[in-house]
């Protein structure tokens, strides 16, 4: 399993707390899929995560974004997307 960066661990903690998952944030592989296999999130979970991310990080994640499959592919891709939005 790959090592998560501090920002990835922060986001993992947000996901775990938002969805009350029975896993520790540092047990989430930053490159494992979030949706379906991997962390096992479903579309409702992804919507809840998007709302929590918007509130916590002050960025907007749109449900109609054509890149959502890539954005939510893993903890790492979601973290990178949030950082890119915050930087722009």
Q: In the prediction, which pLDDT does 1 show?
A: 65
Residue boundaries of the structural domains of the chain: 6-87
Q: Is the pLDDT higher at 64 or at 70?
A: 70
Q: String of b and e for 32-68 (b: at least 16 CB within 10 Å)?
A: bbbbeeebebeeebbeebbebbeeebebebeeeeeeb
Q: How many other C-beta atoms lie within 10 A of the C-beta of residue 70?
A: 12
pLDDT band at 2 (very low <50, low <70, confident <90, very high): confident
Average pLDDT, the chain: 94
pLDDT for the residue numbered 15: 98
Q: What is the pLDDT of residue 62?
A: 86
**Dihedrals phi, psi of 29, to nearest 5 degrees:** -70, 120
Instruction: Supply the pLDDT for residue 37.
Output: 86
CB 60 within 8 A of CB 54: yes
Average pLDDT of 9-31?
97
Confidence of residue 20 (pLDDT cuts 50, 70, 90): very high
CATH code for the structural domain at 6-87: 1.10.1200.10
Query: Does the pLDDT value for residue 68 go beyond 70?
Result: yes
């Amino acid at each position: 399993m790959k090592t998560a960066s501090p920002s990835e661990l922060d986001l993992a903690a947000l996901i775990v707390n938002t969805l009350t998952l029975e896993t520790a944030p540092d047990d989430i592989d930053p490159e494992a899929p979030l949706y379906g296999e991997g962390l096992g999130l479903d579309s409702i979970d992804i919507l809840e995560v998007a709302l929590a991310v918007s509130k916590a990080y002050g960025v907007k994640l749109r449900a109609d974004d054509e890149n959502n499959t890539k954005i939510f592919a893993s903890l790492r891709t979601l973290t990178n997307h949030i950082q890119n939005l915050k930087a722009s």
